[in-house]
Structure formats: C-alpha cells, structure tokens
Structure 1
Amino acid sequence: MFEKFNDTARIALLAAKDIADHVHQDHIGTEHLLLAVTGGYGPATRQWKNAPGISPKTEAVIAALGIAPETIAAQAVAELTYGTSYDTGRLPFSENLKQVLEYALRSSMILGDNHVGPEHLLAGLARNSSGAAGAALSRLGITDLMIQAAIQDSTPAPSPTAARSCDVYVPVGKSIFKNGAKIYPDLAAAQTAHPDQEIAPFTIQLADGEFFDVCTMYPKPSSWGKFASYPDAFAAAAELGNVPGASIQVRIMTPHATEHRGKDSRGHDIILGRSVEYTTERLMTRVLGTQERTAAKKEGARV
C-alpha cells in the first residue's frame, strides 16, 4: 500500500507519530493524523519538532470546502487526550487509522490518481465515521464525498500542449510523397480521399510545449493559427486550402527555453529571465523521418 504514498503523505504520517508521542499515547490515532494533515496549526502544536505545515494541494482542497485549515485543526486538537506512555519507539496504528489508510487508497483510485497524498488521507479520515477525526469533520459538516469533489475542483486542468501522442493516417504508396504528403486526422477521412489505396496509421509523439502551426507559404509566408490537436489544425488547413494559389503546411513547433543569467550587487549568479524560441519541423518528418524513408526505399517497400 505505502508504495503509492507520496512524500508529503509519508511526512504527514511521521508528523502524526510525533503528535502521538507528544501526548504520550501508545498508538497513532486518526486525530493525530488529522492534525498532521492540516499542518499542526495552533499554539499547542508549535513545540512539535516535525510539524510539516500544510501541503499546497491539501490547502487548496480545504479552501474549496469553504473552510479554514485552522478550523479543522482546532477540532482535531479538541479530540486529543493525554496518555501515560513514554515509549517514543515505533507506535502502532489504531484500527480506525488502518481503515483510514485503506479508504485513502480507494479515494485515490476512484479519482484516477496514481498516488496517495495528504488530500486523500483527509478523505479517508472523513470516511471513517467511527474515529475521532471522522467525528471532528462531521461536526463541521465535512464528508468524504465533499472532499473528493474538492480534490477534483482544485486539480488544475492539464496544459493543452502537455506531452501527448496523436494518431494520424497516410495513404501507402508513392503518392505519399508526390501529392503533398497528405496526412489525415482519422481513418475515414483518409479512406474517403484515397478509396483505392491502403491506409497506414502512424503515431506522432509530441513533447511538452509542442503544438501544430498552420502556415501559408504562398502568396506570402504567414502563420494562420496554432493548435493543440492535429484534427483542429487539419480542419484549419483544409479551410485555407480553398484560397487559390495558396501553399499550406501544418508544422510542428518545438520550444527551446533559454535562461538569461547575470550577477546581483553581491556578485552572485542570478537568473534575469527566460525566453522561448521555436523551431519548426515539417509534419511529414515527424510521421516518417528521412532515415526511415531511405531505408524503406532500399528495401523496396511501398511507403
């Protein structure tokens, strides 16, 4: 189970142990983890040596719930009780906390996440209604379903030009080179345009930040638009293709970031700024590079 826990979740579990040590308990309970997950807020927690502070993701989730972390932490503090154990060795998890960890893993799976973070631990704590933390969250009207929804709401959408792959389709045969190297966004479009030819699929791998650029080379060079998906770029190129005498290309734009460095008044190296320049690459080159085409021709393959 714990191999899916990220570093901040593991730190929260270690902080929960410190809290349990501080109140002389012989086990780690849900109330200790709730206080650790919310960052150990409040005057009583300042003396705990490993109070980690709240993770940015958990803070965003709690903000999406419309409540302050300090409010949840105060409820957790109210659930703390002092024991008589002074053994600071390995403390076992309570049965409720074991359930919480299982619920957290389930929440992560339900949400399609590939890790368990403090935000999933918070959902697990709310799901375990028999534990002290579950009671504290219930008093605030917080449920595990609300936390799961908040996790989704606080998760930023991926960049449209994040690393990705897309499938394109090309007609097999010499026409792939002679007729403008036609590349299609789907099988149906390729079959409609080339009903008597075999159609071959290719997968294009795009790195982070790369996008498709539609440009006209004639009557004058100009970029008509930038697109995250090939189907959108293809549609734009088809629209421009109705312009008499226009030569249309769909290119892949690859970013190259450069850091500009200098020195501050003390002579220390600092980054003054960053700039991004783009290099262009013909789409056909990415689909079937020069080396692959040369090798295919030598072998007599029909590409």
Structure 2
Amino acid sequence: MFEKFDGAARAAIMMSKDIADYRGLDHISTGHLLLAVAGHPAPKPHWKNWQGISPKAAAVIAALGTTPEVIIDQTMPELERGSGTNPGHVPFTPDLKLVLEYALRASMMLGDNHIGPEHLLAGLTRAEDSTAGRVLARLGITDAKVHAAIRESTPVPSPTAARTCDVYLPVGKSVFKNGGKIYPDLATAQTAHPNQDIAPFPLQLSDGEFFDVGIPLPGNRFDSWSRFTSYADAFAAAEDFTRVQGVSVKIRILVPHVQELYGKDSSGRDRILGRAVEYTGVSIMSRVVTPTLHLAESSSRT
C-alpha cells in the first residue's frame, strides 16, 4: 500500500512520527496524523524541509468550509503527552492502521492512482472512536463530505469519450520510441526543429483516458499534480510547473481499470455496491526536459 503514497502523504506520515516523538510517546495516533495533514509540524530543528500543508489538502479543507488552523486548534487539546523520547521505531496505533486502509479505499472509490493527504483525511473520518475521528465529527466533517470536497477541488475531467489529439513531431521520428519528441502545435515543433519537416500525429485516446502531469519518484512511483483532457493543456502546465519548481515533470496518458465492488444486501445476497476506477496502466509518457528548450521526450510505457 505504501508504494501508492505520493510525496505529500509520505511527508505527512513522517511528520506524524516527529509529532509523536516530540510529545514523548511510543506510538503514532490518528491525532498526530491529523495534525500533520493539516500542516502543523513538530517544532524540531532537524525537519528543515517540511513544506507545511500540501496545496491539495489545503484546497480540500477549504472546500469543507473550515481552515487548517481550526482543525489544529481542535486537535491539540485532545493529544496526550508521554514521559520520554523514542528515537527508534514508533508503531501505528490499531486505529491509525485502519485509517490507512480506509485511505486506500477512498483513493480507489475516487478513481485516483495514488494516496495523498486528502485521502488520509477521508480515512481519518472513518475512525470514529479515535482522536481524529472525534475532532472531525465535531466539525461536521464526514467521509462523504471529504470525497465531495476532493472532487470539487480537483481540476480533473470526468471520464472522457474516445477522441483524437493531434501532436507534432519531426518527420521520420516515432512518438512511441525513446528520443522521439512530441509537441502540442506546429509552431512549437518548428521552433525546436527549424531545419526539419514537421508532421502531425493523431494520438488516439480511448474512453476514460486522459493526460496526467506530475513528478516521477524513485521506485517507479509518480506524484500526480493535475490531469487534462488535451495534450496542449498538459504540455503548457508541465512547462510552467517545470519552470517554477525546477524539477523534471512528466506527462502520461493514464488508462482506467474499472473494478466492480461487491457486498451483501440485508438478505445476505451478493450485489454490486458500486464501481471503482483505478488508473494502473500508462500508454505513453513524455518528459519536459528543460523550461528553456521547451522539449518533450516520449517513451512507451505499459
């Protein structure tokens, strides 16, 4: 499951451990994770790279009609203090282990291909008898409301119909091979290759597929940033993100995998409860190399 965690969710887990350490506890609870998701770090000088609340979590909390400060203020009085420090392994409480499972389910139900802080927040609402569950219940925050807030605050198109997106590349180059360069329009391609003939290439997208922009991480993981219906929009966003962040940003075409979720009705009979969409396949990945050259390399991925 942890391989599905994006960078912000992993940072929140690490920060929740630091919060527990700072309070002298030998366990990590749901309250510690709620503080981390809301952007409240333990005042430890060694955690210099903590960026606070993730933009996605901040947008979801705003959509819920509250603020990170309110969540933090409601949570702090609920936390216990221990008697020492625990520099070694600090285990999760049983409630927190369940929260991580709930977060995975929330991600699947929303059709996301990762677990972010927003999914952790949804999972925390499900632990009703825990510290975080009680705090969120007092604020009127339920898992259904978090799911709705995630959808409301996410610039993600609904499943799209099959369509064709024209991209451009030098004549004789393949969009499916390493080193092939693809561009969203003719002018951009001609600027990058002034002495070569440019030809359009009809990029076919099946029903439900879309362009996903994000940052590649070690271990074949991917930190998704945003999703787009057109390659031109994805390309422009990737370049802007590369220019601002100074990191390599990739564009993928995600392929949906639909799974039916089964359960039992009041008579004990099996029935379909719903359908979850998980994006596990990648048909093409292109990489914005530098913001100054405005190039995109593509490679075939499955």
| TM-score bin, normalised by smaller chain | 0.5 to 0.7
C-alpha distance after superposition, 1:18-52 (max 9, x if no partner): 000011111000000000110007xxx44464354
- 1:198-237 equivalences under 5 Å are 209=184
CA distance, structure 2, for counterparts of residue 55 and residue 256 of structure 1: 23
CA distance, structure 1, for counterparts of residue 185 and residue 156 of structure 2: 17
Deviation at 1:85, TM superposition (A): 3.6
Greater RCO structure (CA 8 Å; 6+ sep): 2
Q: Which runs of 5 or more residues in structure 1 are unaligned? A: 168-203, 212-227, 231-252, 260-272, 277-303
Determine if contact 2:38/2:71 at 8 Å carries over to the other structure: yes
As a proportion of its length, which structure holds more helix?
A: 1
TM-score normalized by the length of structure 2: 0.53
- 1:107-122 equivalences under 5 Å are 107-122=106-121
- 1:101-140 equivalences under 5 Å are 101-140=100-139
Aligned residues: 181
2:153 corresponding residue in structure 1: 154
Determine if contact 1:30/1:125 at 8 Å carries over to the other structure: yes
CA distance, structure 2, for counterparts of residue 28 and residue 70 of structure 1: 21
Change in CA separation of 1:104 and 1:274 when aligned onto 2, cut-off 3 Å: same
- 1:147-296 equivalences under 5 Å are 147-158=146-157, 166=164, 209=184
Deviation at 1:135, TM superposition (A): 0.4
CA distance, structure 1, for counterparts of residue 125 and residue 235 of structure 2: 46
Change in CA separation of 1:155 and 1:139 when aligned onto 2, cut-off 3 Å: same
Deviation at 1:103, TM superposition (A): 0.2
Change in CA separation of 1:60 and 1:256 when aligned onto 2, cut-off 3 Å: closer
2:56 corresponding residue in structure 1: 57
Larger Rg: 1
2:66 corresponding residue in structure 1: 67
Identity %: 51
CA distance, structure 2, for counterparts of residue 256 and residue 116 of structure 1: 24
Determine if contact 2:184/2:235 at 8 Å carries over to the other structure: no
1:86 corresponding residue in structure 2: 85
Deviation at 1:166, TM superposition (A): 3.7
Change in CA separation of 1:208 and 1:153 when aligned onto 2, cut-off 3 Å: farther
CA distance, structure 2, for counterparts of residue 107 and residue 122 of structure 1: 10
CA distance, structure 2, for counterparts of residue 64 and residue 256 of structure 1: 28
CA distance, structure 2, for counterparts of residue 31 and residue 53 of structure 1: 16
CA distance, structure 1, for counterparts of residue 26 and residue 59 of structure 2: 33
C-alpha distance after superposition, 1:233-286 (max 9, x if no partner): xxxxxxxxxxxxxxxxxxxx9x998x9xxxxxxxxxxxxx9899xxxxxxxxxx
Determine if contact 2:163/2:204 at 8 Å carries over to the other structure: no
Deviation at 1:76, TM superposition (A): 1.6
Residue identity matched to 1:87: N
CA distance, structure 1, for counterparts of residue 33 and residue 45 of structure 2: 14
CA distance, structure 2, for counterparts of residue 86 and residue 123 of structure 1: 30
Change in CA separation of 1:256 and 1:52 when aligned onto 2, cut-off 3 Å: closer
Residue identity matched to 1:6: D
Residue identity matched to 1:11: A
SS in 1 for 2:76: helix
Change in CA separation of 1:159 and 1:123 when aligned onto 2, cut-off 3 Å: closer
Change in CA separation of 1:66 and 1:99 when aligned onto 2, cut-off 3 Å: same
Change in CA separation of 1:275 and 1:133 when aligned onto 2, cut-off 3 Å: same
CA distance, structure 2, for counterparts of residue 256 and residue 144 of structure 1: 34
TM-score normalized by the length of structure 1: 0.52
CA distance, structure 2, for counterparts of residue 90 and residue 144 of structure 1: 30
What's the C-alpha RMSD, in Å, of the aligned pairs?
3.7
Deviation at 1:7, TM superposition (A): 1.1
Residue identity matched to 1:86: T
Q: Are residue 14 (structure 1) and residue 27 (structure 2) matched?
A: no
Determine if contact 1:127/1:134 at 8 Å carries over to the other structure: yes
Q: Which runs of 5 or more residues in structure 2 are unaligned? A: 166-174, 177-181, 187-202, 206-231, 240-290, 295-302
1:33 corresponding residue in structure 2: 33
CA distance, structure 2, for counterparts of residue 52 and residue 150 of structure 1: 22
1:281 corresponding residue in structure 2: none
